[in-house]
Amino acid sequence: MSPRRVQLLAADTPHGIALLAAAADAGLLGGGRERVLLTASRAPAPETVPAPEETPGPAALLNRFDRVVSWSRLIRPLHPAAWAPRPDDAPLWERQLRSLWGLEDAEVELVVERVGTGPARALARIFPDAPLTVYATGLSAYGPTPGKLDPLVGTRVRRLLHPPLLPAARPLLLSEFGVPAEAVPAGALREAAAAAARALPSPDAPEGAAVLLGADPQAPGALPAAEEEQLYVRMLRGVREAGHRAVVLAPHPAAPAPRTAALEEEAAALGVELHVPEEAQPVEALYERLHPALVVGCASGALLTAGAVHGLPAARCGTGSVLERMVPYENEDRVPAVAVDALLPELGTPGDGPFAPEEAAALLRAVAFCMWPRVLPELRGETERFLADHPDGRVRRYFARRRLVSLGLPGGLPAPLTPVVRSPVVRHTAHRARALGDLRARR
C-alpha cells in the first residue's frame, strides 16, 4: 500500500494563489496527493485586512485545492512574516500540526515562496524531512538568493516554479544549489487570471483603458504615499500625451486605500476619465477583463507580465530615480527594477530604446553578482567581461562605483590600478582594515 502524500502550499498574496492554481492546472504540482493551501498575510496587522483567500478573485481559484487553512489565524497573535519556532520546539509543532490537520504519518511536501523568510521558514523548520518546491510570482526568480541560505534547507529544494517573464534569461534564484527552474505556462496563467476576473466586480471602465500600476507597500524601498501620488500624476500626464482618455488606477492588493485627490484634480484638468475600483483587484485579472491599450508603472514585475503573459504594451515611469536611491545595493527589488528599466520604454520620453533581450539577461546576471558575490562567485568572469565590453554610462548607471571598486571590477578605478585591486591579498587587507575601522567607530 502506497503511503499517503500531502502537499502543503503556502501563499500570502493573491498573486501566489493565482500562480499555484495555474501550476496545478498545468500539471506541475503532480497528482495522487492531497493539496492543502496555507494562507497568510504580509500586512503589518493581518487582522485588519482581508486574507488573500477571502478576496473575490482568488476565491474563484480555491477549487484547485482540497482544503484551505489560515496560517495567520493558527499562529495569532504572532506575525506570519516574522515568526518561526525555535529549533528545540519544532518537533512539538510537527506533532501538533499533524494531529490538527489530520496528516498522521503522511509524506509531506512543501510548496513555498521566499524560502528563507515568513511561513516558508517556519514550515521548513517544522517539517525537516519534507522536500521543497519554491515558487516566485514575478521577477525575483531572475535575481540572486538573498544572502546565504542554510545549506540544510537549500539542498532540500527540488524545483523552482516561476512565470515566463524573461525568456532570454535563466533564473538565478537558488541556482547555487543546482535547483532546476520550470516555467508555469503563460496560457495557464492567463486562464487563472480570467477565472479570477469573472468573479470580480466590474471596474466600471471601458475596454482598452490605460492602467496605472501601484507598488507593493511592503516591498523594501517602497515610495511614501505622498510621493507615489505624485508619481501617479506624472503617469497620468504621460498617458494623456500618448492619446489615452480613459485610465484605471490599479493599487497593489496589499496597499491601503490610495490617496487620489491630486490625481483626480489632474484628471479633471486634462479631460481624462479616471476610474478607481472600490477594492484593489489583482492586476492580471484587470488585464484579462479590460485588455488595456497601455500599462504604465514604476518598477512592478506586473509590467513585464503584461507583455510576456497577456500580450499588452507597457511603459515605465520614474524607474531610474527609484534605482538611484535604492539602498542597500543588495535590495531584493533591484533586479526587478533593473529588468523593467532595461526592457521597457520610458513613458513619453524618446531617449535610448530598450536593451535587446540577450543583453538585458547579461546585465541582470552582472547586477546579481555585484549584489551577492559570495552567493554567485562563478559569475565573476562573465561580469568582468560584460563591464569591460560596456563602458558606456547607459550600462554603468546600474552599478554603484563603490561596489565596483570593492569587487575589483572594470569601471571602479582607472585601468592602471585595476590589477592591484583584483589582487586577493589587497582585497583581503582592505576588508580587514575596513572591519577594524568599523570596530573602532563602535567603541
- The pLDDT, as a whole number, for residue 424 is 65
Residue 133 banded pLDDT, cuts 50, 70, 90:
very high
- Give the Cα separation of 239 and 230 in Å (integer): 14
Q: At 142, which CATH number?
A: 3.40.50
pLDDT of 302 over the 80 cut: yes
Indicate if 172 and 262 belong to the same structural domain: no
Indicate if 35 and 167 belong to the same structural domain: yes
Rg (CA), the chain: 23
- Give the Cα separation of 287 and 312 in Å (integer): 8
Counting the structural domains of the chain, the total is 3
Residues 14/58, Cβ–Cβ less than 8 Å: yes
Confirm whether 387 is domain-assigned: yes
What is the pLDDT averaged over residues 205-230? 82
Q: Report CA torsion sign: 318, 113, 167, 251.
A: negative
Confirm whether 352 is domain-assigned: no
Indicate if 49 and 168 belong to the same structural domain: yes
What is the pLDDT averaged over residues 7-30? 95
Cell of 322: 527609484
- The pLDDT, as a whole number, for residue 414 is 59
Indicate if 310 and 239 belong to the same structural domain: yes
What is the pLDDT averaged over residues 43-72? 86
pLDDT of 203 over the 90 cut: no
Indicate if 52 and 128 belong to the same structural domain: yes
Instruction: For residue 221, give every residue at least 6 positions away whose Cβ sits within 8 Å of its Cβ, in sequence order, or none.
Output: 322, 325, 326, 327, 331, 333
Indicate if 172 and 210 belong to the same structural domain: no
Domain boundary among 138, 162, 193: 193
- The pLDDT, as a whole number, for residue 26 is 97
Cell of 303: 509590467
**Bigger pLDDT: 19 or 51?**
19
This prediction's pTM = 0.89
Verify cis geometry, omega within 30 degrees of 0, for the bond prior to 220.
no
- Domain span at residue 32 reads 5-193
- Per the listing, cell 592602471 goes with 416
Indicate if 127 and 221 belong to the same structural domain: no
Indicate if 119 and 213 belong to the same structural domain: no
Residues 127/266, Cβ–Cβ less than 8 Å: no
- The pLDDT, as a whole number, for residue 353 is 77
Residue 443 banded pLDDT, cuts 50, 70, 90:
low
The rounded mean pLDDT for the chain is 89
**Bigger pLDDT: 429 or 246?**
246
- The pLDDT, as a whole number, for residue 260 is 82
Residues 287/306, Cβ–Cβ less than 8 Å: yes
Q: Which residues pair with 296 in a beta bridge?
A: 212, 315
- Give the Cα separation of 274 and 211 in Å (integer): 10
Confirm whether 349 is domain-assigned: no
Cell of 176: 547555487
Indicate if 21 and 162 belong to the same structural domain: yes
Residues 181/134, Cβ–Cβ less than 8 Å: no
Residue 48 banded pLDDT, cuts 50, 70, 90:
confident
- Give the Cα separation of 191 and 39 in Å (integer): 22
Task: Say what angle helices 186-198 and 14-25 make with each other, to 10 degrees.
Answer: 120
- The pLDDT, as a whole number, for residue 227 is 83
Confirm whether 298 is domain-assigned: yes
Give residue-wise pLDDT tens across range 273-286.
999 887 778 899 99
Indicate if 305 and 388 belong to the same structural domain: no
Confirm whether 350 is domain-assigned: no
Give residue-wise pLDDT tens across range 256-273.
667 788 899 999 999 999
Domain boundary among 193, 227, 256: 193
Instruction: For residue 59, give every residue at least 6 positions away whose Cβ sits within 8 Å of its Cβ, in sequence order, or none.
Output: 53, 199
Domain boundary among 167, 193, 219: 193
Indicate if 318 and 394 belong to the same structural domain: no
Residue 420 banded pLDDT, cuts 50, 70, 90:
low
Least confident of 201-205, 313-317, 430-434: 430-434
Task: Work out the percent of the chain whose per-residue pLDDT is above 70.
Answer: 89
Residue 348: strand, helix, or coil: coil
Confirm whether 112 is domain-assigned: yes
**Bigger pLDDT: 202 or 80?**
80
Least confident of 35-39, 248-252, 350-354: 350-354
Residue 8 φ/ψ, nearest 5 degrees: -105, 115
Residue 425 banded pLDDT, cuts 50, 70, 90:
low
Confirm whether 428 is domain-assigned: yes
Confirm whether 348 is domain-assigned: no
**Bigger pLDDT: 351 or 373?**
373
Indicate if 118 and 220 belong to the same structural domain: no
Residue 223 banded pLDDT, cuts 50, 70, 90:
confident
